[in-house]
Amino acid sequence: MNDQDILSRFEELEAGHILGDLDPDEIKEFEMLSLDPRCQSDLSLELTASALEAEFLKDKDPDLPKKLLERLRKGMEEFVVDEPEDGAVVRPVAWQRLLVAPQTGWAMAALLAIFFVAKSFVEEPLVARPALVVNTPEAARETLVAKAGDLIESKFGGTERYSQMSGTVIWSDELQEGYMSLTNLPANDPNANQYQLWIVDPARDEKPVDGGVFDISTNDGTVIIPISNPLAVTNPQAFVITLEQPGGVVVSKQEVVVALAKSS
């Protein structure tokens, strides 16, 4: 192959490389030719964009939404460069062949869009996004305290084995929502046992209502536990914490009663 044939082959492979349609053998060939001094062309993105713009606008507009097309044209104006006076420029003849192929029309449009979006990322200022607000149990409890008009609050008292623990429970019949605030409740091993809350509501049933299973991961400090009752509770008289098997139970035998809070 003479120098011109080598350069033409390099231009063709370079066009394919930018479009991403080279097979493994062609990629190796492109990489080898890129090291050849004869193939050090100045086929920059500016010249490529100029060629794309000329081909797209020469005959008729591509079948793209008008607003997108207008923004692409405006952005492309800044990619056009003047040809050097000495004529020392490699013309992208391979792009000319690619552009006239009908099956590559949308591929070219996609490439124009990539140029435009990349330019926007560089030039447009970042818009500050509001911070993601995580509704923690602590925040949810404070919200309930602020909005509930029928809030009741009771203090937990630990049984003999759990005498070091303390806490409170708040509950709203109207909102069917409540939270426990527990301090110094011993940590449990979820694989061995879990804590379970029971809500005593004689007006509903003689059996306590399940208030949810929960874990304590540390022996120190205070933790807020949401009450999770699958059944409506309208007149709670007491809240009882027991220690049960993993996953909790449907009916507690109350073999290990941890704490009790009576409504006033």
Domain boundaries along the sequence of the chain:
3-123, 137-262
Integer CA distances (angstroms), 236 to 152, 169, 218, in order: 10, 11, 29
**Whole-structure pTM value:** 0.51
The strand pairing partners of 155, in sequence order, are 168
The first and second tokens of residue 172, run together, are 């709203």
Give the side-chain half-sphere CA count within 13 A for 140.
18
Q: Tens of pLDDT along the chain (264 residues)?
A: 677 787 788 778 777 777 677 888 888 887 787 777 777 655 554 455 455 555 555 555 555 566 666 666 665 555 455 555 655 544 444 445 444 544 445 555 555 555 555 555 555 455 566 555 567 999 999 999 999 999 999 999 999 999 999 999 999 999 999 999 999 999 999 999 999 999 999 988 889 999 999 999 987 689 999 999 999 998 899 999 999 999 999 999 999 999 999 986
Structure tokens at 49: 């964009």
